[in-house]
Structure 1
Amino acid sequence: MQNLLADWGVRERAYDIVLCVSELATNALVHGVPPGRGFLLRLLPLPYDGGVRVEVHDSGDGVPAIPQADVREPGEGGRGLLLVSELADKWGVGERNPGKTVWCEFARR
């Protein structure tokens, strides 16, 4: 993935993009993929500013959201979308049949 981003000329935010890909893919595996189903990861160059869009398509129901609990509480989970919301310029959830698409975008700086 780092090589692809470098080929697209995206170097300055590559680590943020890779971290968000990891978080969204993990969320899809843990929460959005029913048994026997998979998920689709897409990285797309943004034509209007040279940035990057990350999309994770899964077939699970439900809408992911940033937990309202205090993030300082002990435990291993619940911080992935918080990281995505802080690192990406935009993020959201789109409908898909079946399931949903969780996406985030990184503008070129």
Structure 2
Amino acid sequence: MNDATQLPYFHKRFYRRTPRSVPMARDFGRKTLERWNLTGRAEDVLLCVSELATNALLHGVPVGRGFLLHMWLLDDYVVRLEMHDSGDGRPMARTTTAAEERGRGLMLVDALADTWGVGERDPGKVVWCEFACAPPKGKA
């Protein structure tokens, strides 16, 4: 496989601070996985795109700003999502009760992704997660 930083192994998109950005990010993720011919864990990846985009909107994007979604295809068919925002704070998965309507996003990411974490950027942070995927048919 070629270096993951060269197209078509890296795609990014900027989204404004609006609820419409979440389904747009999910659609971008779906199209990117299709371009890479990776479908085996698509629902896990796309649910995490939705959760990280929602978290960026609710907690990480100040008024007048937006967020960036980076998608990488790394060696051995590992898909890496990175959600870049300019907000303060360090997100953490937390325990919720059945009555709470919110607060499960990072619990889902933790359950679905092989690994995830938070990194720094100036300004803000990067929340990332990775998924080991099966190679496309004929590429094993």
Q: Same fold (TM over 0.5)?
A: yes
- Number of residue pairs matched by the alignment: 106
Q: Is the 8 A contact 1:10 1:51 kept in 2?
A: no
Within 2, Cα distance between the matches of 1:78 and 1:107?
26
Query: Tell me, which stretches of 5 or more residues in structure 2 are unaligned?
Result: 1-28, 135-140
The root-mean-square deviation of aligned C-alpha atoms, in Å, is: 1.1
Deviations 1:11-69 (A, max 9, x none): 110011000000000000000011111110111111x21121000000001000011x3
| 1:49 matches 2:73 | no
State the partner residue of 1:65: 92
TM-score between the two structures when normalised by the length of structure 1: 0.91
State the partner residue of 1:32: 60
Shift of 1:7: 2.2
State the partner residue of 1:96: 121
More relative contact order, 1 or 2 (CA 8 Å, 6+ apart): 1
Moved beyond 6 Å, runs of 4+ = none
Q: Is the 8 A contact 1:44 1:52 kept in 2?
A: yes
TM-score between the two structures when normalised by the length of structure 2: 0.72
Query: Tell me, which stretches of 5 or more residues in structure 1 are unaligned?
Result: none
Q: Of the candidates 99, 106, 109, which is equivalent to residue 131 of structure 2?
A: 106
Shift of 1:6: 2.1
Identity among equivalent positions (%) equals: 59
Larger Rg: 2
